Structure 1
C-alpha cells in the first residue's frame, strides 16, 4: 500500500473512531514556559521546530506555515513524507518559513496564525514571549529538543482539538513499530551503540539522546559501555578513533549524510579494527532523508523510514551472530 493510501486510510479510520465526541474549547496546555490558553479550535496554525508539522497533518489538518528543512528536505526545504501527506489530503502545501535557527517573527506574523506550535524545538523564553504577542504558543513540555515523538503527537492533538485522535494515532504507530521489529527475532537481546563522526572524532550518542531512546523503546538494548564511557554526558560524548574498541556492543549504528563520508569513515584503518566493523555488525544509515526520518521519527516519517532502518540493524545483528 502506498504512503498516500496509508495516510488517507488512517485519517478516515481515526475520524470514524472519535467523531462521536468532539473536543471542546477553550483548551489550556501546560509547557515549559507556563500555560497557553487556546480559546477556540485553531484555523491558522504555524509550526516551529521539528516534527510538529507532521503531527498536525497526520491528524488531518494542514498548517499555514511550517519550518524550512535544509537537512533531508528538497530544494524548497520540504520533506518528502510531508509533501505526500498534504497531497493525500488534497490540500495546498503550507508556506515554508525562511530558513534559520531562530523563528522568523515577521514571516510568522504575516501568516496571521491563531496558534503557534513549537512542541519539539529549541524555543527560548525570549522567543516564546515575542511569539506570544502574535498568537498562543505551545512550547515543549520540559527540555529543548527532548520531546518524544509520542508526546509531540498527543500535545499537538490536545492543542488543535483532536486529543482522542492523537492518542489513537500513537497507539497505531507503536503497534506498527512492534510489528516491524517482530519480523526480526535476532534483535531480541541485541545491544547497540549509535555513532557518527564530528571534527575528526567519534560522536557517541548517549542514553538520553532521542535516537537511542527510540531504539530502546523499540526493544533493543543500549550497550552498557555507552553509559560507562559517557561519564555523565547522557546526550552525547566524543571518543577518539583509537578508542572505538572500548565501545563494546553487539552492533554499531552509524549515521552519515552521504555515501562519500560513510566510505571515508569505514576506509580508516583504525576504524576497521573495531570488532563490530570486522564482523560486519554495523547498521550503516546513509543519507539525510533516511536519517531525518528516524532520528527521531515524526508522525509521518515513521512509516516511511522505520522498515528500512530496522532491517539494517537486524542485518547487523545477524552478522554479529545473534
Structure 2
C-alpha cells in the first residue's frame, strides 16, 4: 500500500524532533525492494538468536502484526533500516535516533534492526567473518533490550545509535572485548607527544569492555591478540597499529579506591592515558547499577568494592569522568 510522507507526518504528530527525523529519513531516499519489514514467522527465532530475553521477544513478535497493518509505521521502519543498509560497512554514527512515543515506539528500533539483519549477515559472510563472531556481535541488541528492562522495568531498547554501529559492520565482539573500526581522532596529539607519527585520520581500533563479567587480564590479552589477526584477515585494506579507548574504566580516580592488582586498574594501565576527560557520572551509574543520575544513592547496593567506591565518591560531592587513552597493538 502506498503512503505519502504527509500521512507519515500526520502519524508522527507535531513533535519537532520527530519532524526533523522524518525530514532526515526522507532526504536519505526510499528503501530498496530488498529491505523488508520483519515478519512473525522468523522474528522469534532471530530475536532469541540475538539474545533478546524471552519476555521481550514475545512482546516484540506480538507487535509485528500491528507493524504489518500500519502503513506509516512500516514506512518508518523501512526508511530507517535503509539508512543503515545504505552505509553497510561504514563505521561512523549515522543520523539521529530520537526517543519515540511508548504507544508505538518501545520496540521500534528492534524492528528496524530485524529488517537490517539479513543485510549485515550477508556483509559478514562476504567478509568471511565466522558465524560465532557474527552472532555474538549482533547479540548486542539483546543486551540493549535486557538493559532497558533492568533500568526502567518496561520493554524497550537502549542506545539504538550504538546498536546501529554493530548492524552496519563497524564493531565486532572478539572474546572479552569489542573492537570498532575507526580513526585516531582527537587523540592524535597525545600519540605525537609520545614520539610516534600520528594524524587524526589514521586508522585506530576503538576498544570496548562488554558488560559480561570481570575484565580478566588473560581474556583481555586473548582479545587483543585476536583483534590484530581478525582485522588483518577480514579488513586487509585497513591497517591498525593503534587502539583507543574512552570509558569510565579509564578514570584515574579509580586508583584511589581499587587495588593496583585489580582487573580494572590492570586494564587501565594498558593505555597511555590523556588529560582529556568527559563527564562520567551518568555512564558509571548506568554501567555499574543500571541506574540514572537522579537515583537516590541510598537505594543502591554496596556489595562490591567498586559499588562502594562509586557511591562514596558521589556522596563526597565529587564526580566521575570518562577517561581516554591509546596503546600500540
Identify whether the pair has TM-score above 0.5, normalized to the shorter chain. Answer: no
TM-score (ref. length: structure 1) = 0.26
Q: Which has the higher contact order (CA 8 A, sep 6+)?
A: 1
TM-score (ref. length: structure 2) = 0.26
Q: Which has the higher strand share?
A: 1
